[in-house]
Structure 1
Amino acid sequence: MNNDFKNEVFSSFDPNPVQRCSLCGEKPKLILKMLNPRNGRTVRRFKCGCGEQTWSEDKG
């Protein structure tokens, strides 16, 4: 039996899933992340290669 450590992926869990661009279908890049002091949630802004910009906020 081989006891060497193997790096295996057990799941495809993504803690911060990014929605695909509604214009071109690619995954946009995170360009800004900030805390909303009024409700304590994180607001993230994304920009796609096609120029489309979107934002998301943590669920409460």
Structure 2
Amino acid sequence: MIVCLCNRLNDKSVRQAIQTGAQKAEDVHASCGVEVSCGGCLNHIEGMLREIETGDTLRETVAA
């Protein structure tokens, strides 16, 4: 799934950036070799950061 339209970042690349140490949306972009453009993806990426930080996943939420 595309997370950032401007930079064509998908959820897999965002998760990989988070797992390798990105702690905020700007870090995710930098890890992927791009810069924040319009900012429309920032809330979604921040949500992914919180999800991974707390160990929650959509699958776990749906299963509950």
Under a length normalisation based on structure 1, what TM-score does the superposition of the two structures give? 0.29
Q: More strand per residue: 1 or 2?
A: 1
Higher helix share: 2
> Whose radius of gyration is greater, 1 or 2?
1
- Structure with the bigger RCO (C-alpha within 8 Å, sep 6+) is 2
